[in-house]
Structure 1
Amino acid sequence: MTEPKAPSTAERGLLGGLRDRFSGAISQVAAAGALIVVFVILSIVAPSFLSADNLFNLGSQTSVNAVMAVGVTLVIITGGIDLSVGSVAALSGVVGVMLMADFGFNPLLGILGGLAVGAAAGLVNGLLVSVIGLPPFIATLGMLSVARGLVLIVTGAVAVFGAPDSFRLLGQGVVGVLPIPVLLIVVVALLGHLVLTRTRLGRYAYVMGSNLEAARLSGVPVKRYTTSVYVLAGALAGLGGMIAASRINSGQPNFGEGLELDVIAAVVIGGASLFGGRGTVLGSLIGAFLVAVIRNGAVQLDIGTFYQNVLIGVIIWLAVWWDYYQRRKLGSEAGG
């Protein structure tokens, strides 16, 4: 009797990729299920949760995290991490408001200025990782401190006011019945999805995250594309900072402290792997809404911020443990 032919290396790689995608899909479904359950429970125990005002605020609040999560998704898919998004968002928001209040820029130019600040911070992160060779954790941890320090220096730790009232449209405006921040989530998510699925940057991001050395040997310009994902993440952090500043029509130097925790939690909960090579924009959006609903519901139930942070931290533990467990399982199956 002829023995069954062992799968080739290519076939094993294909099967492993399919299993990995299936595992990511399971994580997304689990996150979506958790979001539905939490939403229903809060609708029952907190009657004001379903009020129009609260849902409007929930959508606006989620927009900041969701927009930033799209950028962080790109970084994490490459196997990197960005711990600086909260501080970069604060710096971008403050500079954008200062451009309008102190230098007379119109709101559009002020917003673009904030995005440019975020992109510049992302460029520094990308160069530190791709050219200097610093680990992403160290490079972005340093940027977290640098950006926060710059915020305090340029503002003197005092909030910046004086932006024109029209600037409020970005964070408080409505088109029909939909808040503009929610529309921004849709636009950024669609663009992020197209980047991941229809561009060379997206394809190379997955390749680099799966095996950086193999990507380099295959001719992928790793330095260029690594830098690019950090620039995009920085620009989207800048946009998140401008949305947040618009909601209160001021630049707050203390904005974004600990925000990176929520953003990274959203991406990981949505099925992205901190080991790289896996993640989707849809999953990150689900994660962002889950984190936002939990925090909003906690406020409705008068649960303090400290307890919220504990809960989000535990959720991160569980999500990373699940990813690690799945990868060990897939590795053992591939080896077998």
Structure 2
Amino acid sequence: MTTLTTNTDRPRQGDFVKRLPGLVHTLGPAIILLALLILATAMSDVFLSTRNVFNVLRQSAGIGLMSVGMLFVILTRGIDLSVGSVAALGSVIAAVWVQDYGTGIALGAAIAVGAGCGLLSGGLIAFLKLPPFVTTLAVMTIARGLALIASNGQPIRMGAAGEMITEFGVGRLGMVPYPVILMIAVFVAAGLVLKFTRFGRMVKAVGSNAEAVRLSGISISRYQISVYVISGALAALAGVVSTSRTGIGSATISVGAELDAIAAVVIGGASLLGGRGGAINTFIGVVILGVIANLMNLANVPGYHQQVFMGAIIIGAMLLQYGTSALKR
């Protein structure tokens, strides 16, 4: 007896080929990281040493915290150029307040000031409909100016009053530095929020189709404001982490850090058009930037040359992400 095979019974030839761009886009950050790890291991014997690996992660902690906030903002089709300056302001506030009010109040004040900067940006964007790029550029200038005013343009040593903060910056739990634990905890929390909470789903929905959300009777303003508040608070916390490593509050730290945070989010596959991105791939993007910087240091690449190589690698990563998206269309 002959069994007839219908078209639906046959394997769909070309299905895998059609899905390939999507797979490459999803797995792109992991592919890039794997390639960099292989290259770095081949170029340096010390790259995979425990000390160097945790050193890379420790140095990436500040950018990692900023990148989480930037991810939330970009998911709503926004941008936050103020995070580097807000980190500097948080650094200065923590260093000044810890001497008079102690660690807890100083930390809370720094985060509150960062959240306030985010509230200012979010409010102007949500209620006055100002462009995020220009708005956060203005807040970037304001925050850096306030940091310079508060510090009189001079580094501020925390001294003995900031001992708990500096111990956090150099301390470890077992072999893992405390800043790395904090960064991973924030990424895990962000991943859970985006995947399992209504807030996370609405943040993505606002970025995907804000008009549809509005027509559903849901106010998008509170979500827009919320993501900028999150970004500002995490940026200030990143500034405190930077201060914890040096024991010095400075208004000149994190210059250009906003570009690194944006790069990490985009390398991680998030779309600048909003609605697409995740915490895991953003974390991989942060690690990719850290590995690139560390690899160039180990290879004794001069500082100015490093900027050229970093930019070229970021462009390559973006081509991989957006090129595969074009193939899908």
Match of 1:158 in 2: 154
Contact 2:74 2:271 in 1 (8 A): yes
Residue 42 of structure 2 is aligned to residue 39 of structure 1: no
Please list every run of at least 4 consecutive aligned residues from structure 1 whose deviation after the TM superposition is greater than 6 angstroms: none
Gaps of 5+ in 1: 1-18
Distance 1:321 1:66 in 2: 22
Match of 1:143 in 2: 139
Q: Over residues 199-229 of structure 1, what are the superposed CA-to-partner deviations in whole Å (9 max), with x where a residue is unaligned?
A: 2221111111111112211122111110001
Match of 1:64 in 2: 62
Distance 1:287 1:222 in 2: 28
Q: Aligned partner of 1:279: which letter? A: G
Q: Over residues 229-277 of structure 1, what are the superposed CA-to-partner deviations in whole Å (9 max), with x where a residue is unaligned?
A: 1000111111111111101111122100111111111100001000111
Aligned partner of residue 94 in structure 1, secondary structure: helix
The RMSD of aligned alpha carbons is 2.0
Match of 2:235 in 1: 237
Q: Over residues 92-117 of structure 1, what are the superposed CA-to-partner deviations in whole Å (9 max), with x where a residue is unaligned?
A: 1111111012x2x2223222221111
Larger radius of gyration: 2
Match of 1:285 in 2: 283
Alignment of 1:2-151 (within 5 A): 23=22, 26-101=24-99, 103=100, 105-151=101-147
Task: Return the offset for 1:177.
Answer: 1.9
Per mean C-alpha deviation after superposition, the further-off stretch among 85-94 and 51-60 is 51-60
Per mean C-alpha deviation after superposition, the further-off stretch among 67-76 and 51-60 is 51-60
Distance 1:312 1:132 in 2: 37
Distance 1:64 1:28 in 2: 25
Q: What is the count of residue pairs matched by the alignment?
A: 309
Distance 1:168 1:284 in 2: 27
Distance 1:313 1:141 in 2: 22
Q: Aligned partner of 1:111: which letter? A: L
Q: TM-score, normalised by structure 1?
A: 0.86
Gaps of 5+ in 2: 1-17
Match of 1:174 in 2: 172
Residue 271 of structure 2 is aligned to residue 273 of structure 1: yes
Contact 1:111 1:242 in 2 (8 A): yes
Q: Percent identity?
A: 38
Q: Aligned partner of 2:209: which letter? A: N
Q: TM-score, normalised by structure 2?
A: 0.88
Q: Over residues 129-179 of structure 1, what are the superposed CA-to-partner deviations in whole Å (9 max), with x where a residue is unaligned?
A: 101111111111111111111111211221110242221132221112211
Contact 2:58 2:180 in 1 (8 A): yes
Distance 2:317 2:44 in 1: 27
Q: Aligned partner of 1:176: which letter? A: G
